[in-house]
Every structure is written in C-alpha cells, then in structure tokens.
Amino acid sequence: EIVMTQSPATLSVSPGERVTLSCRASQSVSSNLAWYQQKPGQAPRLLIYGASTRAIGIPARFSGSGSGTEFTLTISSLQSEDFAVYYCQHCNKRPPGSFGQGTKVEIK
C-alpha cells in the first residue's frame, strides 16, 4: 500500500502570500498525483492531476510540480476563497489512490 504524507498539517498565511504545500509518497507514483481542495461542508474539488495539469476552471495561480515521490502544490497569491483544506492523492490504477492527511490553509 502506498502511503501519502502531507506537510505541514496547518499553514497560517495572509492573503496575497505565496503558499507551498508538500506531499510525499512512500514509493514512486510517477506523475500519477492529484490535488484536491475542500471547503467546510463541501465535497472535494479536483485542482491538479498528472502532478501538474490544472483541472477545468482552476485559476492559473494554482500550480503543481514533482514526480516520483515528492510533490508540491503552489498557490502564487492566496485569495480569500483559497482558505481550505488541501489533499493529495496518488492515482495509480490498482487500487486507486489513498489520500494524504490534508493541509489546512488558514488565515493568519
């Protein structure tokens, strides 16, 4: 089983700041990595897949990078609507992915 580990658990930032979230896989997942955003009371929303491809409708301030076991989600300039919990997930076919434990981005 592939274990996904995210860091930090919580990030306190001010609007306009650049934010970097990390995700590590216990073994290589190539570029089969997705990022999701979840706001309170809502379902998760796909942000990034294939480690670096933005999903439909996702603003350009969100970017993903990495391959193998180390991945990063960057928000170039944090907007008020970006305060949320972010999860990474490996997208291997069999079985499909376990999730990281999440990083909460909160207002400083």
Asked if residues 87 and 38 have their Cβ atoms less than 8 Å apart, the reply is yes
CA 89, 90, 94, 95 torsion-angle sign = negative
Given the rule CB under 8 A, which of 20-28, 64-72, 75-83, 100-108 is the region that contacts another protein?
Answer: 100-108
Q: Which of 45, 67, 74, 83 binds another protein (CB under 8 A)?
A: 45
The answer to whether residue 46 forms part of the interface with another protein (CB under 8 A) is yes
Q: What DSSP designation does 82 have? A: G
Per rule CB under 8 A, is residue 89 in the interface with another protein?
yes
- Per CB under 8 A, 44 contacts another protein: yes
Which residue's CB is nearer to another protein, number 68 or number 102?
102
71-101: b or e for each residue (b if 16 or more CB lie within 10 Å)? Answer: bbbebeebeeebbbbbbbbbebeeeebeebe
- Could you give the CA distance from residue 86 to residue 9 in angstroms, rounded to a whole number? 10
Among 14, 43, 60, 80, binds another protein (CB under 8 A): 43
By C-beta, is 74 or 92 nearer to another protein? 92
How many residues interact with another protein (rule CB under 8 A)?
A: 27
